Amino acid sequence: MWVDARDKEALARAGLATLEAMMATTAAQLLRALPDRENWRLELHDAQRGSRGAYLKKHHTRTWGQWLRAKLGAGTVATPGRVEAENIERLARDGIPAMRLMAWGEKLHRDGLLESFVLTEELAGYTQLDHFLPTRFAPQVHDGAKPRNRDLDRLIRDVAALARRFHQCGYNHRDLYCCHFFVREDAPGEFRVHLIDLQRVQHRRRFRWRWLVKDLAQLAYSAPRDRISCTQQMRFIKTYLGVPKLRPIDKRLIRRVLLKKWFMERKLGASQ
């Protein structure tokens, strides 16, 4: 188990100083429970930083392969908790705003039970993008009488710049939906955008085309259609690509993204 030095006091106060305590705790708000994992929200307190929220992901699986590894003393495989913790640290080193890692841990028990967790600090004051857009911006008017919303333009630019930086650094998300961009408006038209849910993030330098298309299609699929116009979608892709005018290779990418989005709509239905 690893704990950030800044959080040791708060975790000790909450009785969460060990992996066993972290995996067993129910003194929190249960957000989701699946057969192999749980999501919880905790309130932590310490003398220096006061109260703050944190999100805990617990993972637990038991397989014959894990039982055999335990019997042979072979150690753990790359657990979900470790993978997400390492992804958070990598993105931080590359200057990509995400959650702050507070603690993580893993353990392979003798009976084959493999446990892991990751604890991250709550992004206080942030709202997921698909909720922020409908509450902050009015539906699009298509009669041409309403002027451009400069604040919305800036937000689209900021989201595109984050996606561009993320992909330029060699990452792909595999779940790059709007709900995984978190937004805070510090002043009118001044936004901070962070990326969350990094368990499935991959890093690759080659054979990336398919995964970039998938990320962009997921983002396009989940964008509220009544808030983002075709013109703003074009503004997004130009910012993402870093070009003032689309080139033939850019148009090929757009066609692939739109095709992938169409397949998603056929399979999942319209998102908004």
The label of the residue with tokens 């939906």 reads 177
Residue 106, C-beta contacts closer than 8 angstroms, at least 6 positions apart: 19, 76, 79, 81, 82, 114, 115, 116, 117
Residue 140: what pLDDT? 80
C-alpha span between 6 and 46 (Å, rounded)? 10
Residue 221, C-beta contacts closer than 8 angstroms, at least 6 positions apart: 177, 261, 264, 265, 268, 271
Radius of gyration of the chain (CA): 21
CATH of the domain at 84: 3.30.200
Residue 270: what pLDDT? 77
Residue 142: what pLDDT? 64
Residue 67: what pLDDT? 81
Residue 105: closest CA among 2, 23, 14, 200: 2
Residue 146: what pLDDT? 64
- Where a domain ends, among 106, 121, 136? 121
Quick check: helix, strand or coil at residue 46? strand
Residue 49: what pLDDT? 83
Q: φ and ψ at 138, to 5 degrees?
A: -75, 160
Q: Are strands 50-62 and 101-108 parallel, antiparallel or unpaired?
A: unpaired
Under 8 Å between Cβ of 172 and 219: no
Residues 165 and 117 in one domain: no
Residue 240: what pLDDT? 98
H or E, element range at 175: none
Residues 157 and 264 in one domain: yes
Mean pLDDT by 10 residues, the chain (272 residues): 96 96 96 96 91 96 84 81 97 97 95 95 96 93 71 97 97 97 97 97 91 97 91 95 96 97 91 64
Residues 148 and 93 in one domain: no
Residues 139 and 221 in one domain: yes
**Structure-token pair, residue 210:** 């398919």
Task: State the residue range of the domain holding 77.
Answer: 2-121
C-alpha span between 170 and 136 (Å, rounded)? 32
Residues 175 and 82 in one domain: no
Type of residue found at 74: A
Residues 133 and 246 in one domain: yes
- Where a domain ends, among 103, 121, 139? 121
CATH of the domain at 238: 1.10.510.10
Residues 116 and 24 in one domain: yes
H or E, element range at 188: none
Residues 227 and 157 in one domain: yes
C-alpha span between 208 and 160 (Å, rounded)? 18
Taking the model in full, what pTM does it have? 0.91
Domain count, the chain: 2
CA angle 187, 190, 195 (to 5 degrees): 120
- Where a domain ends, among 77, 93, 121? 121
Residue 205: what pLDDT? 84
C-alpha span between 15 and 45 (Å, rounded)? 11
Residue 122: what pLDDT? 97
C-alpha span between 232 and 73 (Å, rounded)? 55
Residue 143: what pLDDT? 56
Residue 70: what pLDDT? 80
